A = this chain, B = another copy of it.
């Protein structure tokens, strides 16, 4: 069932601020989904996440977490220990997002060979040599 009955000449402003577009752009960024999936298993502290995601920069981890926090998908809790520790975990809203996200991931895993095949075919058709250096 598709939710939006979408007018045909899609209005400019309406699309720009469409909440669906908005969320898609968020999950389409480089790290958000990975962070959500990790936090879906258990809470993490900041540097714990940093270690778990080998190649993320501190800056991008912070930005990603802030974005998720702003949207109410992740909860940030500071414990006044020494040294201080900050725990991140999914909110119920964040957990509920895992459901459609998993569905999409499953679709990809189910069809990834089709996509790979299409890419090869397209490259071959254009005369590209896929095996070239």
Contacts and interface: CB of A to CB of B under 8 A. Distances in A.
**Contact residues of A: prevailing secondary structure:** helix
Chain A interface residue bracket vs B: 35 or more
B1 A102 contact: yes
Closest A-B pairs by Cβ, 8 of them: A28-B28, A72-B118, A100-B104, A19-B112, A12-B55, A100-B107, A100-B103, A3-B109
Contacts of A115: 19, 23, 71-72, 93
B10 A114 contact: no
Contacts of A70: 118-119, 122
Most chain B CB neighbours (cut-off 10 Å) among A40, A100, A109 = A100
Interface stretch (A29-37, A57-65, A80-88): A29-37
